[in-house]
Chain A
């Protein structure tokens, strides 16, 4: 099956810093989504981005489908950004998740 790798696995930031999270995938995909899992386990949809670039406030994402990677940018990080960020790809009709990036933003 398709392989999804996220980097870095862990990231510690000082509040206000910027960061880039990466997602590499091994095969062509129909869709790609980024999620933030909060401390209570809820997965929050951030972006639905099979290709191109999208922005939502301090977050933006870019997917280069031909090169099989996606990037999630977090600018001016806040303590509430802490949690786990997952990339998930859909090569056909179901999502396969990457291992996640565990982010901690310190005040």
Chain B
């Protein structure tokens, strides 16, 4: 199957700082990528749809100014959590479609 990578796999930051997470499709091109968030023992919730060359589409309740998404190429989307706070601590997962959807390994964010 297709491969999606994420970097970093985990990050710890201080409250008020910004964190950037990268999502790459390694062996295919993706005009659309998806960002999910997962809290402990819960399911995945879609945050936003990242569109190459255009603005991302955010789900209801997700602050677009806090979660900045850039999809500058057909293989790379980035999610920047701006002015992070402890409540932003979560597991962030990206995906891309090549027929079916394939998921990256996730990024565990801890905000102190």
Contacts and interface: CB of A to CB of B under 8 A. Distances in A.
A45 B34 contact: no
Nearest to A47: B100
B100 A31 contact: yes
Given A33-B101, A45-B100, A48-B99, A86 B34 contact: no
Contact of A42 (B32, B42, B103): B103
Main secondary structure of the interface of A (DSSP, over half): strand
Most buried by A among B34, B43, B49: B43
Interface residues of A, number: 21
A88 B38 CA distance: 14
Interface of B: 1, 32, 34, 38, 41-46, 49, 91, 93, 95, 99-103, 105-106, 108
